[in-house]
Amino acid sequence: MDRFTRQIGDVLAEITLELRRLGLWEGAPPAARDLLSAQPFCYDTLQFPQWLQWLFLARMSALVETGGPYPPHSGIHAYAEEWAAHAAVESTHLLVLIKRFDDLIEAPRPSGQE
């Protein structure tokens, strides 16, 4: 496993722990139809923490397992900030972790780590 993949895996694990610490981790998945939304972040069918858990973390963890390819861009932090402005939890650390993910994805990578 290369350094970049380890870094991505580490931040995904930290996001998971933070969702659990905040009490936002769910034991059962949403209805399958809610996961199929065509809207960004499934904003019409899921709450942001649900999207993080059931789509983002699941998809990115699968990429870590296979070593990519990773997306060349990420814009999760901006949406996370919008959610946090109205959230009923202290989400500062979660926002820091999501920003770290965005920064990792956006940073230039050596060839073969795309």
Q: CA 77, CA 97: separation in Å to the nearest integer?
A: 9
pTM of this structure: 0.91
Ordered alpha helix ranges (H), 1-114: 3-21, 48-51, 57-66, 76-84, 92-106
Tokens of 7: 């870094």
Nearest to 51 by CA among 14, 87, 81, 26: 26
Q: Domain segments of the chain: what residues?
A: 3-26+36-106
List of the chain residues with pLDDT < 50: none
How does pLDDT run across 2-21, given as a tens digit for each residue? 999 999 999 999 999 999 99
Q: What pLDDT does residue 113 have?
A: 55
Tokens of 9: 């895996």
User: The CATH number of 3-26+36-106 is which of 3.30.470.20, 3.30.420.110, 1.10.579.10, 1.20.1440.40?
Assistant: 1.20.1440.40
How does pLDDT run across 102-114, given as a tens digit for each residue? 999 999 876 655 5
Q: What pLDDT does residue 53 have?
A: 97
